[in-house]
Amino acid sequence: MGKRLIELRDVSKEYDGDLALDHVNLYINDGEFLTLLGPSGCGKTTMLRLIAGFIMPTTGQILMNGTDIAKVPPYKREINTVFQKYALFPHLNVFDNIAFGLRIKKTPKDQIEQKVEAMLKLVNLEGYGKRWIDQLSVSSSGWPSPGLS
Ligand SMILES: Nc1ncnc2c1ncn2[C@@H]1O[C@H](COP(=O)(O)OP(=O)(O)OP(=O)(O)O)[C@@H](O)[C@H]1O
Ligand SMILES: [Mg+2]
């Protein structure tokens, strides 16, 4: 078993007085694959948003590697969220959407290019970096994009 990576200690969350999470205690160990399963409205997304730092708990603590991360903003937490719904930047092309997090982390430019190209290749979208995000589907209108050579 890996070391304790994320810990929720007695975490509750209320939205306008309505209790969404009620004193949750949970460990997530390093290398562990964890699935949250439960009926709609049971608080799965609330828990993920708390861990990512998009919302704050009403009570309790969230720890990462043993340290309370209450004051750490989402972009400084080493936590990534793949959203259920569309969460791309519409003003950035495919390449810049993928590169966004790496730029925030101040990754060197040549490494960003390498990593973005590798990701595009991984998902069979090599050469599509300059397209706008709404120009990837074969059914989308208006392509080729102005940026595509
Ligand atoms: N921003 C919000 N404001 C007020 N109430 C909210 C808000 N977000 C969630 N809730 C309420 O908190 C409870 C938990 O919602 P949450 O979205 O975390 O559930 P979920 O398990 O992710 O559901 P689903 O399976 O439908 O995605 C629900 O009662 C929901 O109505
Ligand atoms: Mg949800």
Do residues 12 and 60 make contact, with C-beta atoms less than 8 angstroms apart? yes
- Give the model's pLDDT for residue 111: 98
Q: How far is the CA of 114 from the centre of ligand 2 (A)?
A: 34
Question: Among 24-38, 41-55, 135-149, which is the least confidently predicted range?
Answer: 135-149
Mean pLDDT on 17-31:
96
* Ligand 1 atom with least separation from CA of 16: 4
Ligand 1 within 6 A of CB of 15? yes
Q: How far is the CA of 132 from the centre of ligand 2 (A)?
A: 28
- Give the model's pLDDT for residue 148: 46
Q: How far is the CA of 7 from the centre of ligand 2 (A)?
A: 20
- Give the model's pLDDT for residue 146: 45
Query: In terms of pTM, does the model score above 0.75?
Result: no
Do residues 1 and 12 make contact, with C-beta atoms less than 8 angstroms apart? no
What is the strand order of the sheet 59-64 is part of?
Answer: 18-29, 4-15, 59-64, 67-68
Which H, E and C letters describe 54-96, residue by residue? CCCCCEEEEEECCEECCCCCHHHCCCCCCCCCCCCCCCCEHHH
Q: Which domains does the chain have, with CATH numbers?
A: 4-70 (3.40.50.300), 88-149 (no CATH)
Nearest to 24 by CA among 15, 12, 34: 12
Q: How far is the CA of 43 from the centre of ligand 1 (A)?
A: 6
What mean pLDDT value characterizes the chain? 90
pLDDT per position as a tens digit, 85-125: 778 898 999 999 999 999 999 999 999 999 999 999 999 99
Ligand 1 within 6 A of CB of 46? yes
Residue 25 structure tokens: 């205690």
- Angle at CA of residue 140, ends 138 and 146, nearest 5°: 100
pLDDT per position as a tens digit, 119-149: 999 999 999 999 999 888 765 544 444 444 4
- Give the model's pLDDT for residue 82: 81
Assess whether pLDDT exceeds 80 at residue 2. no
